[in-house]
Structure 1
Amino acid sequence: MAPLPISQSLALAIEHHRAGRFSDAEVLLRQILTVEPSHAEALRWLGNALQAQGRVESAFDAFQTPLGINPQFAEVHHHSALLLMESGQYEAALAFFQLAARSKPDYASAHRHMADALHALGREEEAEEALRAAERFVPGFRSPTGPGVNRNGTLTPFPMPDADLDPGAGHR
């Protein structure tokens, strides 16, 4: 059986990832990277697969490689920041969220998670500003029943990025 073209292998790896088969995704992604070591999307998804398997340091390292290829890769800045948030490194995470938002100004998840980092740092006014930025791209984002604000109107932690908050697929 002939190997799949890279685009099909990547699509299959993403399918494995979304179905929770992270080690299967990792195998395919590493095969892609054997053929094309600087494939930024494969590196991004490898970081995602490693993170999902709890291999945080390896995931962070995998995310940094595509940034050397494309420093404007907003999703990778965002995922790097989320890893840093998990380990309580809020200042470092904030810097990555800011890079993501500068690279892709309409990336609502980056703005929303930036608000989480700012909130953790006690910078409430800036957190509110970041939430307003997110709402510009996702109408109703700040509704009392919507994501980001609990019933008493205070900031709530936000889960991993959702596709509906990222208006573009891939990267710019």
Structure 2
Amino acid sequence: MRENYEQLLFSAGCDAGVVRHCEIVADTAMRFSGDSVDDSLVCAGSMLHDIGRSKTHDISHAQKGAEICRSLGEPDALTEIVLRHTGAGLTADECTILGLEPIDCMPKTLEEKIVAHADNLVKGSKVITIEERMMRIADLSTRSKRRIWRLAMEVELLSE
């Protein structure tokens, strides 16, 4: 299954570094899967969360990635993971301020939250701690940092 997503990433135009990052995010995300989680959706979402990086490496990569997934006929649940994976999500107002389409990009489902959190724990191809992530985002607003921390605490409970 993962091989299919690797090929999809490459065919969309992602480089080997993005594909490797997605593989590590998928490995990390699976630590939080359990009985109440759709494992195959978490795996698929983790593997495709950065497909938009085939077009851009800026903040719009999530919305562009969701467009790519829609054009490929991917299920809505998977497309929403791609759309909502940035940090701990973005409100429609935050999207507007950032010059993005003004849509709600806040993770809602457990699968969306797991992928967003796992992505926060992977810098390039290296797994980091949530404390290391918090140090790397020191320039973000207090609101954004709190949201990332709360997401981490919610998802980390799943691995216990």
State whether TM-score is above 0.5.
no
**TM-score computed with the length of structure 2 as normaliser:** 0.36
**TM-score computed with the length of structure 1 as normaliser:** 0.34
Higher relative contact order (CA 8 A, sep 6+): 2
Higher Rg of the two aligned structures:
1
